[in-house]
Amino acid sequence: MSYVAARDGRKNRSAATRAPAVPDRIDDLHGHSVGVLEVPHHMACGHASRRQFELDDPIQVRHAYEQVLCEAANCGEVEDLINPAMLRRVWRDLHLPSRVRSAWETRHPGLQRRTVNRAAAITEAAAGGGFARRRRAVA
């Protein structure tokens, strides 16, 4: 049986195995930062109301950006839908698959999440700089 290409030219249409679409520069992004963001049908199936997100609501922004970053077919879609300032603001709060997050953070190191140094936090808490466990008074 011969191979028949997909209509859009991609051999593998599955977002789960396709490489994430990551533009070369974050400054190339030119999505809106106010109003309503409507994602294409292939990113969120169903009625148009399920594909529209209020950009004034941080929860809806995170949900929309997660869908776009995971489901975008090419960099052009990402550039049209994502706003650079808003992406930087919500980046640490996005729940993304590790392959998507690592692809973006490899290409754009400024997006990397700040990690908490747990050893320093525990030492600070023990020194009285945070919550400490109370001991029971022995009667």
In the chain, pLDDT over 70 holds for what percent of residues? 69
134 lies in some domain: no
Q: How many domains does the chain have?
A: 1
Q: Which burial class, exposed, middle or buried, applies to 50 when counting CB atoms under 10 A from its CB (0-12, 13-18, 19+)? A: exposed
Which pLDDT belongs to residue 16? 67
Question: Against a cut of 0.75, is the pTM above it?
Answer: no
The DSSP call for residue 5 is -
45 lies in some domain: yes
15 lies in some domain: no
- What tens digit of pLDDT does each residue of 88-132 get? 999 999 999 999 999 999 999 988 865 555 555 455 555 555 555
Cα–Cα distance for residue pair 122/131, rounded to 1 Å: 10
19 lies in some domain: no
- Where in the sequence is the domain holding 96, given as residue range(s)? 26-110
- What tens digit of pLDDT does each residue of 42-81 get? 887 777 778 899 999 999 999 999 999 999 989 999 999 9
pLDDT greater at residue 123 or residue 138: 138
Closest CA to 43 of 29, 21, 19, 64: 64
17 lies in some domain: no
